[in-house]
A and B are shown apart, each in its own frame.
Chain A
Amino acid sequence: MSGISEQSAKPAAHPVSDAVGWAWGMLGDVLDGPFRALQKHIGANKMAYVFLLPNLLVFGLFSFWPMILNFYIAFTGGQSVILAERPFVGLGNFRELLDCPSYLDPKTCPVAGFSFWTGIWNTLFFAVVQVPIMVVVALVTAIILNRDIRGRGFWRAVYFYPVMLSPVVVAVIWDWILKRRGILNALLEDATNGWNSLITTRPFAVASVFLIGFFAGHLFLKVLPARLKPLYETQFKPLMLAAGLAVVTAVMMLQGSSFSFDWLALPDYRPVNWLIDTRSGWPMFWVIFVYTWAHLGFYMLILLAGLQAIPKDLYEAAEMDGTPKSRAFWRITLPLLMPTMIVVLVLSLIRAFQVFDEVYVLTGGGPGQATKMIIQHVYESAFIGDAKRYGIAAASSVLVAGILLILTLIQLTATRKKAGG
């Protein structure tokens, strides 16, 4: 972050900022009375505690205390929100979650365990697929934006824009696109029909023959013994071969030959129920796609900042040394970007593990349980349905927190190692 000198460059006199400054001063003066009296009483140094107090109160009550409470609730049963009314059940909740013959097959678990393990496996699958894809795409985008691109600010802003949108808005947008009678199906249907009618036309056939001829000619050149090459190259160029074939085809067709590329025809398009289709992987695919769509820009931005932080004179020095550019990329860019990459990887992994909003609004975890994530399991155990199983939810949270803690520790050691090495 820049220092304080920047703002001192602003001109002092401005009616609006003057008015704001005046109001600011007034507010401060009004509050100054009591604080000054307090300071007289307890001394200047103790004022630190006064400044800390509001934060500590809120933090303690709504972060620290719940963290401890969570453990306790995990060992209690019943449906009451009043602690005193919750019976102690020992490891009962955990047993319900973990007592499975096989974790790989959630159906063998008790009801709560089924929901839990379905969520875990779905979330794991989601994270393992989504994170690498997103990071790679973000990296490629960042690298491209880091070139001498015109209008970098514009591109960067557009890619970042979805990050600003709320998960609900994102879900509504994509739900609208992915409906059975939605624009995506309409476009695909049009494209299929267009293709199927295109391949029956004569120009298409001629052009295809030309292309095939051209590539066949090149291939021929590759396999030809070196001795014969000069002859072939002077006599038939691949282009000539292609043109010749094309002309022959055209003539044949004019003569009425039924030469056709019908075999390229696609089957008639049948609209897909992208988000509801139970027999395909499409719902999970789109969940991953939409989530990536919404969050890519953030990681792209971080990686771009990392790339731009690499001093340019390093590249200039490498150029002076005659280092090939590919080598400069592998030996300068990537190593120096590594710390940022690790931050991005782990951050996105932690976030992916907590995915809820987008998925919940988009698919509601469906179809069936196909896209039900672990946080949805926690949420639904506690807040949905008639049986409010707070104990199960808390116990699940403890397990999830354990997983996240491990991820975080990995991040910390990784970053520490990077910083140290």
Chain B
Amino acid sequence: MSTLELKQVTKTFGATKVIHGIDLAINHGEFIVFVGPSGCGKSTLLRMIAGLEPVSTGAVEIDKAVVNDVPAAERGLAMVFQSYALYPHMSVRQNLSFGLENLKTPKPEIERRVAEAARMLRMEKLLERRPGQLSGGQRQRVAIGRAVVREPKIFLFDEPLSNLDAELRVQMRVEIGNLHQRLGNTMIYVTHDQVEAMTMADRIAVLKDGRLEQFGKPLDLYNRPANLFVAGFIGSPRMNFLSGKIAAVRNSSVDVALDAGGTVTVPCAADGALAGAPVKLGVRPEHIRLTDGKEADVKLSVTLTEQLGGESYLHGALSSDEALSVRLAGQTQVKRGDAVGLMLADPALRYLFNGETGKAFPPLA
């Protein structure tokens, strides 16, 4: 059993506050991903959990015990660094056993664990090499192995795949996933790549400017983003946002008059909004359909088409000059310069956000 809880954790560097009170509870065995744009404080948060950075206020609890003042070495966690941070002057074997030696683990036990980790990560042949003699992917595995042998309560990963090429990244993603399956430990994984987040996480914590924007299962984030930021961050390509004003508020839906012309209905709770209030309509590119008939919600002047074979993208501008992207299945005849009519998704797949606060209008219960 290892659980982790953050209670109103803040961090201040000198005069600048970079983490603004984060609450987070993580259960045993969960795979949690911290995601957010660069500089939002993911690493800082992770390092505070690790004990490498003292928290300014608030509490970090591991297994219900406050560990704010417990040094990193004694928290029983292991971390995989973005740069791997392998000891360049030690062989792979020494890299793996260094931590265990510090804990005065008996020799045979060290050997057993190193051998097991090496087998698990398929690096038995690399044990006598030094990090400088390994490829990027192999170094990555050693870094993970160094964490594995410690049998930590919680694994911490700080963007471990960002130095790898695309193909290797996919492969290592799968391996880390398998590792989690096999070990069943709690893992916290930092990335700024939302694809990584979506594919690996049990739950995702979306951070922005030192604040927790939303914390939930990947599909919940996709289906019910709590605000403009999460909506824009989760999903690829990005969700389109169209400005408009509330035209009418009904029982279970809201009519929105778009700046780009046309009115669309969004089923949601009005949440106290009044007619005339500015809103943003969110529509994912994959939910938009082409139409030539009169039922078109908006008209798009195409400025660029991307044909990937299996799918196509249209990029263009609406009459309000707002940019919009569309994803189409298969191949398309539409060319640059064409004007096409669009239907903005099924009503259930439309998202409405408060134009001032960016908060999502709550979906119908």
Interface residues of A (CB under 8 A from B): 4-5, 7-13, 44
Q: Evaluate contact between A8 and B71: CB separation under 8 angstroms.
A: no
Q: Report B's interface with A, CB cutoff 8 A.
A: 71, 88-91, 128-133
Q: How many residue pairs bridge A and B at CB < 8 Å?
A: 26
**When the two chains form their complex, are residues B128 and A12 in contact, meaning their CB atoms are under 8 A apart?**
yes
CA–CA, A7 and B131, complex, Å: 10
A10 surroundings in chain B (CB, below 8 A) = 130
Docked-complex contact A8 and B91, CB < 8 angstroms: no
Do the beta carbons of A12 and B88 come within 8 Å of each other?
no
Asked whether, in the complex, the Cβ of B132 is within 8 Å of the Cβ of A9, the reply is: yes
Residues of A within 8 A of B128 (CB): 12-13
* Bound Cα distance A7, B90 (Å): 10
Q: Which residue of A lies closest to B87 (CB)?
A: A8
A11 to B71, CA, bound (A): 34
Residues of A within 8 A of B89 (CB): 4, 7-8
CA distance A8 to B133 in the complex (A): 7
Q: List 26 A-B contacts (CB under 8 A).
A: A4-B88, A4-B89, A5-B88, A5-B132, A7-B88, A7-B89, A7-B132, A8-B88, A8-B89, A8-B130, A8-B131, A8-B132, A8-B133, A9-B130, A9-B132, A9-B133, A10-B130, A11-B130, A12-B90, A12-B91, A12-B128, A12-B129, A12-B130, A13-B91, A13-B128, A44-B71
B90 to chain A, nearest CB (A): 8
Question: In the docked arrangement, what's the CA distance between A44 and B54, Å?
Answer: 12
CA distance A376 to B365 in the complex (A): 96
Q: Which residues from chain B contact A9 at a C-beta distance below 8 Å? A: 130, 132-133
Q: Which residues of A contact B91 (CB under 8 A)?
A: 12-13
Identify the closest chain A residue to B90 (Cβ). Answer: A12
Q: Shortest Cβ distance from A21 into chain B, in angstroms?
A: 9
How far is it, in angstroms, between the C-alpha of A101 and the C-alpha of B96 when the chains are bound? 78
Q: Name the residue in A4, A7, A8 with the highest tally of chain B Cβ atoms < 10 Å from its Cβ.
A: A8
Chain B residues closer than 8 Å to A11, beta-carbon distance: 130
Q: What residues of chain B lie closer than 8 Å to A4, measured between beta carbons?
A: 88-89
Min CB–CB distance B95 → chain A (angstroms): 10
Chain B's closest residue to A5 (CB) is B132
Distance between B80 CB and nearest chain A CB, rounded to angstroms = 19
By beta carbon, the residue of chain B nearest A7 is B89
Q: Smallest distance from the beta carbon of B118 to chain A beta carbons, Å? A: 15
Query: Smallest CB–CB gap between B146 and chain A, Å?
Result: 16
**Complex: A8 Cα to B129 Cα, angstroms:** 9
Determine the distance from Cα of A12 to Cα of B133 in the docked complex, in whole angstroms: 10
Chain B nearest Cβ from A162, distance in angstroms: 36
Residues of A within 8 A of B71 (CB): 44
Task: Compute how far the CA of A188 lies from the CA of B90 in the bound complex, rounded to whole angstroms.
Answer: 62
The distance in angstroms between the C-alpha atoms of A10 and B88, with both chains bound, is: 10
Tell me how far the C-beta of A373 lies from the nearest C-beta in chain B, rounded to whole angstroms.
47
Q: Which residues of B contact A44 (CB under 8 A)?
A: 71
Residues of B within 8 A of A8 (CB): 88-89, 130-133
Give the complex CA separation of A44 and B72 in angstroms.
Answer: 10
Taking the nearest CB of chain A, how far is it from the CB of B52, in angstroms?
Answer: 10
- Among all A-B residue pairs, the 9 with the closest Cβ atoms: A8-B132, A8-B88, A12-B91, A8-B130, A9-B132, A12-B130, A4-B88, A12-B128, A8-B131
Kindly report which residue of chain B lies nearest to residue A13, judged by CB atoms: B128
A13 to B90, CA, bound (A): 10
Q: In the assembly, what is the distance between CA of A133 and CA of B281, in Å?
A: 81
Besides A5-B88, A13-B128, 10 more A-B contacts (Cβ < 8 Å) are A4-B89, A8-B88, A8-B89, A8-B130, A8-B133, A9-B133, A10-B130, A11-B130, A13-B91, A44-B71
